[in-house]
Amino acid sequence: MSTVLTEQQNDLRDAVTDLMAKRSAEAQVRRLMADDSGHDTAVWAELAAMGLLGLTIPEEFGGAGAGATELAVVSEQMGRVLLCAPYLSTAVLTPYLLLALGDSSECAEALPRIAAGGLIATVALAEAGSARPPAHPVTSAVADGDRWTLTGEKTYVLDATIADRFYVQARSDSGTAMFAVDRGAPGLSVAPLTTVDQTRKQGRLTLSDTPARLIGGVGKAAAALESALDRAAVALIAEQAGGAMHAMRMAADYAGVRHQFGRAIGSFQAVKHMCVDMLLEAESASSAARHVAAAFDACEPDRLADLALAQGYCSDAFVFVAATNIQVHGGIGFTWEHPAHLYLRRARTDAQIFGDSNWHRERYVRLKEEN
């Protein structure tokens, strides 16, 4: 197993870095934060044209069939610039879920459209009280022959207001399962949530006898969701590492140019040491993200414990670095106009969206105990 990038992977990173610099500068991020759709359809088409939307989708379904390492490379760059796009939900979580469910007709229908940029899809897995999938969903599924209807509420749904399709976890009499619900289905209402991080939109679904299609069979939802969340977490921690790296750099750059008392504030040890602590956290998060990606690609037996540990670590690291960046900036960092707070908002969301760091740490100890 190696964390060294191949020439191809380096080229991929450079290409994504270039695109992000052009299409996700702060002005664009601010514009999309204020926009209900939360993304730029032209940029989305560009991502599709570059093969990034189908990055992890197998070639038979119109994608590039790339591994976790490529996904981490791309996600790190997106995280650096707070890209506003439904990438995590549509291009990462949904494909991994459909593949884990093993529903080949749904894969054949949805994945090529996702890869081409023609379908925005998301997963409705959480109910009130936890961002993780509930063991016993309240949302219920009722069968009438081949026809299913869903009733209940789902929340913390990524990119809900722009999604064409939702994959919804629900409980039937014979077990939990995933169901596809299309936008505009009868009895479905989608409401935006007011989020702290406006670069990552979320919504709430209310389903009332809403027609749905069963995907992958009853009883498969829990395992498939867990697998999809784990694989998608490889992207999330890479985003966190990228965001932390950028926030650290902002602080160090500012500390080198901002003068008080006749000297750059970075020459004061109190400030210098904060910057070094940020560097340690950002670099460590980056090592963790790369290691976990390589471990998934190599199917290392310890990869889930490594992921659990890394997810707890990267979540806290990004929050720490983003928060400390505000402190290093002082007064200007307390203003809305300065981008420092955007990273803290993103960091605090990323530290919850797939479960909080305590949840991941508990999972780590549980996995280690079983060994």
Partner 1 sequence: MTDVTDDGVRAEVRNWLAGNVDPAVGRAEWSRRVFDAGWSAPSWEPEWGGRGLSSAQSRIVAAEFADVGAYGTGADRADMLACTVRDLGTEEQKHRLIPPSVRGETRWCLLYSEPGAGSDLAGLRTRADRDGDDWIVNGQKVWTSFAKTADYGLLVARTGWDVPKHKGISFFIFPMRQPGVEIRPIHQITGESEFNEVFITDARVPHANLVGEPGGGWTVLQLALAYERRLMGDLARTAKSTRDLKPDADSLIGMARAAGVLGDAHVRQEIARAESLATVNRWNTQRAKTTTDRTEAATLMALGKIAMSRILHETARVQTEIVGPESMLTGSDNPVGDAVTFRTLNAYFTSIGGGTDQIQRNIVGERILGLPKEPEPYRETAFRDLPH
Lookup result for tokens 């340690």: 280
Residue from 120, 207, 232, 309 binding partner 1 (CB under 8 A): 309
* 279 contributes a contact to partner 1 by CB under 8 A: yes
* 298 contributes a contact to partner 1 by CB under 8 A: no
Tell me the window of 152-160, 201-209, 232-240, 258-266 that interacts with partner 1 (CB under 8 A).
258-266
Lookup result for tokens 């894969």: 107
* 272 contributes a contact to partner 1 by CB under 8 A: yes
* 208 contributes a contact to partner 1 by CB under 8 A: no
Residue from 79, 243, 312, 333 binding partner 1 (CB under 8 A): 312
d(CA 311, CA 305): 10
CB of 291 to partner 1, least distance (A): 4
Amino acid at 177: A
> What is 306-354 written as a DSSP string?
HHHHHHHHHHHHHHHHHHHHHHHHGGGGGSTTSTHHHHHHHHHHHHHHT
* 252 contributes a contact to partner 1 by CB under 8 A: yes
* 164 contributes a contact to partner 1 by CB under 8 A: no
Smaller CB separation from partner 1, 275 or 340: 275
> What is 262-279 written as a DSSP string?
TEEGGGSHHHHHHHHHHH
Residue from 108, 128, 276, 332 binding partner 1 (CB under 8 A): 276
d(CA 152, CA 211): 12
Smaller CB separation from partner 1, 222 or 280: 280
Assigned token pair, 292: 């976990």
Residue from 223, 273, 332, 334 binding partner 1 (CB under 8 A): 273
CB of 235 to partner 1, least distance (A): 18
* 132 contributes a contact to partner 1 by CB under 8 A: no
* H/E element, 255: helix 221-257
* 283 contributes a contact to partner 1 by CB under 8 A: yes
* 135 contributes a contact to partner 1 by CB under 8 A: no
* 151 contributes a contact to partner 1 by CB under 8 A: no
Q: How far does Cα 288 stand from its chain's mean position?
A: 16
* 330 contributes a contact to partner 1 by CB under 8 A: no
CB of 83 to partner 1, least distance (A): 24
CB of 119 to partner 1, least distance (A): 36
Query: What's 24's DSSP letter?
Result: -
* 260 contributes a contact to partner 1 by CB under 8 A: no
> What is 82-150 written as a DSSP string?
T--SSIIIIIIIHHHHHHHHT-HHHHHHHHHHHHTT---EEEE-BBTTBSSPPSS-SSEEEEETTEEEE
CB of 267 to partner 1, least distance (A): 4
* 256 contributes a contact to partner 1 by CB under 8 A: yes
* H/E element, 250: helix 221-257
d(CA 328, CA 248): 10
Smaller CB separation from partner 1, 109 or 283: 283
Assigned token pair, 315: 């979540």
d(CA 56, CA 71): 7
d(CA 206, CA 153): 5
Residue from 54, 86, 266, 355 binding partner 1 (CB under 8 A): 266
Assigned token pair, 253: 């750059």
* 130 contributes a contact to partner 1 by CB under 8 A: no
Smaller CB separation from partner 1, 139 or 357: 357
* 361 contributes a contact to partner 1 by CB under 8 A: yes
Which residues would be at the binding site for partner 1 (CB under 8 A)? 2-4, 252, 255-256, 263-264, 266-269, 272-273, 275-277, 279-280, 283-285, 287-288, 290-291, 306, 309-310, 312-313, 358, 361-362, 364-365, 368-369
